[in-house]
């Protein structure tokens, strides 16, 4: 049996770039938007809200309006966990061996990847909240299938770009 030992990666502080700060603020804006639309609409949301959508974006399962809180709770939890996680890049798994020399570059790329993923996922959940509320009001009948494809496409493209950057920054 082959046992691979985990090497101790250097613990260094990675200062966020100006772009990182903008991405963090935009993600926080998504969380605030999600909380606001739920709070501002809570008393008017009907007791029946969509809880699942088919491939074409049509609701195919319904539940109590408290299900909106699960989506909101997941979004907020993901935001908090990914924000805290970003303070510990030395605990991440990397495609390359981390040394004192390449740690600042690799950690900056990894924390940037987490930030972008957080931004994209938080806004996707904000969109789900907004659409679910509008469907429950009868203002809309489905998720826009292209919006889901665009959100997931953005995640894939972002991660590919950062993967390539990481490989080049060995």
For residue 11, is it within any domain? no
For residues 115-141, one letter each, b for 16 or more C-beta atoms within 10 angstroms of the residue's C-beta and e for the rest, the string is: bbbbbbbbbbbbbbbbbbbebbeeebe
Q: Is the pLDDT reported for residue 7 higher than 80? A: no
Residues 49, 135 contacting (CB under 8 angstroms):
yes
Q: Is the pLDDT reported for residue 2 higher than 70? A: no
For residue 40, is it within any domain? yes
For residue 14, is it within any domain? no
pLDDT in tens, 123-156: 999 999 999 999 999 998 888 878 888 988 998 9
For residue 6, is it within any domain? no
- Residue 32 sits in which domain range? 25-168
For residue 115, is it within any domain? yes
d(CA 163, CA 72): 29
pLDDT in tens, 100-116: 899 999 999 999 999 99
Number of domain units in the chain:
1
Is the pLDDT higher at 4 or at 15? 15
pLDDT value of residue 86: 94
For residue 52, is it within any domain? yes
pLDDT in tens, 61-106: 999 999 999 999 999 999 999 999 999 999 988 888 888 899 999 9
For residue 17, is it within any domain? no
Rounded to two decimals, the pTM is 0.87
């Amino acid at each position: 049996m082959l046992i691979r030992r985990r090497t101790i990666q250097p613990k260094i502080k990675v200062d966020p770039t100006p772009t990182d700060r903008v991405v963090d603020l935009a993600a926080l804006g998504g969380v605030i938007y999600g909380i606001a639309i739920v709070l501002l609409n809570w008393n008017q949301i009907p007791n029946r809200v969509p809880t699942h959508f088919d491939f074409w974006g049509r609701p195919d399962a319904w539940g109590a309006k408290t299900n909106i809180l699960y989506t909101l709770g997941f979004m907020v939890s993901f935001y908090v966990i990914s924000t805290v996680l970003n303070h510990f890049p030395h605990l991440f798994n990397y495609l390359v061996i981390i040394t004192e020399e390449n740690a600042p570059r690799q950690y900056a790329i990894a924390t940037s990847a987490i930030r972008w993923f957080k931004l994209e996922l938080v806004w996707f959940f904000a969109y789900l909240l907004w659409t679910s509320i509008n469907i429950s009001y009868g203002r809309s009948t489905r998720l826009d299938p292209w919006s889901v494809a665009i959100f997931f496409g953005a995640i894939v493209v972002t991660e590919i770009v950062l993967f390539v950057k990481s490989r080049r920054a060995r």
